[in-house]
Amino acid sequence: MQRSPAEGYQQASLSEQKVDGEDFIQTDVCPKAGDVILDLGCGTGELSAYLAELVGPRGKVIGVDPDKERIRVAKESHSQIENLSFTEGSASSFFRMDSNSYDIVFCNAALHWMPEKQQVFNSMFSSPKAGGKIAVNYLDRLPQFEFNAYMLLNPGNGERICHEMYQCESKTKIEHYCLSSGFQIVKHYEFCVSFVFNSIDGLLKWHWSVTHGVLDLSLVTEERLKKYLSPSVGENGKPCLDFRGIKEESTVYRLIAVKQAENAG
């Protein structure tokens, strides 16, 4: 039984977020033993724990998130991992801690929740050591199944979720912020994530937990649910719960950029 949106998020992230996050880490982040990593917007810390395993006992991972409850769940769930710690904080405050001290700043599925992205990138630039890198995975726009859920299932909350909580911006703008802050871009590419849900209830709980409980499930009437699901009902009479491979439902961007050492190149 889930008790809070943070616990719900942990469950969702063990399936939906973790698979693609681990793929991103293996493909592009490539941490080495001994690395010190900042996980910015770490949520309940499932990927932070994976990073801690990869950097080993000589390395260290620090997870930062502004959601008090998610940080509580992260600390409680991963307390046995010695080279992992969690701190409540946000993209606008973390850089005051330990500038120039990380090998990698990792930011998975969190940039699109952050306003004032130029400031975020400037802060990120002050965090890695010279020669260090950032690895950022973000949405440039809301997948259609999310946008429709918020607008149709919770008309009173939809605008707030889609336009105030989510802060999606285009690839071109993100690239501009990244370069303006001083990074050199190594890779910036489109990737299709595996949004797939095992039931309608699972899909609804996912919407609830990723929005920190702002999507109010008690406002989801049968009529609203029908309106939301009916356009995707297939020949088998069942709604689509597997968005893999559908571009407008599952596209994210992966960005890798380095902070060049001063005497480099």
Ligand X SMILES: C[S@@+](CC[C@H](N)C(=O)[O-])C[C@H]1O[C@@H](n2cnc3c(N)ncnc32)[C@H](O)[C@@H]1O
Minimum distance from residue 182 beta carbon to ligand X (Å): 20
φ and ψ at residue 89, rounded to 5 degrees: 180, 175
In the bound state with ligand X, the residue whose beta carbon lies nearer, of 108 and 127, is 108
Query: What minimum distance in Å lies between the beta carbon of 61 and ligand X?
Result: 12
Q: By C-beta, is 56 or 66 nearer to ligand X? A: 66
Least gap, CB of 221 to ligand X (angstroms): 27
Nearer to ligand X, 108 or 148 (CB): 108
Considering the complex, what minimum distance in angstroms separates the CB of residue 210 from ligand X? 6
Please identify which residue in the block is written with the tokens 């990138």. Answer: 121
Tokens of 114: 């952050």
Please tell me the distance from the alpha carbon of residue 73 to that of residue 48, in angstroms, as a whole number.
Answer: 13
DSSP state string for 158-207: HHIIIIII-----HHHHHHHHHHTT-EEEEEEEEE---B-SSHHHHHHHH
Question: What CA–CA distance (Å, rounded) separates 208 from 195?
Answer: 15
Q: Report the residue number, 43 or 143, with the smaller CB distance to ligand X.
A: 43
Strand spans (E) along the chain = 36-40, 60-65, 84-88, 102-108, 128-138, 184-192, 251-258
Task: Output 60 or 239, the one with its CB closest to ligand X.
Answer: 60
| Site residues (vs ligand X, CB under 6 A) | 13, 17, 21, 40-43, 46-47, 65-67, 70, 90-91, 108-110, 113-114, 210
Residue 235 beta carbon to ligand X: minimum distance, rounded to whole angstroms: 33
Q: Name the residue with the smallest CB distance to ligand X.
A: 43
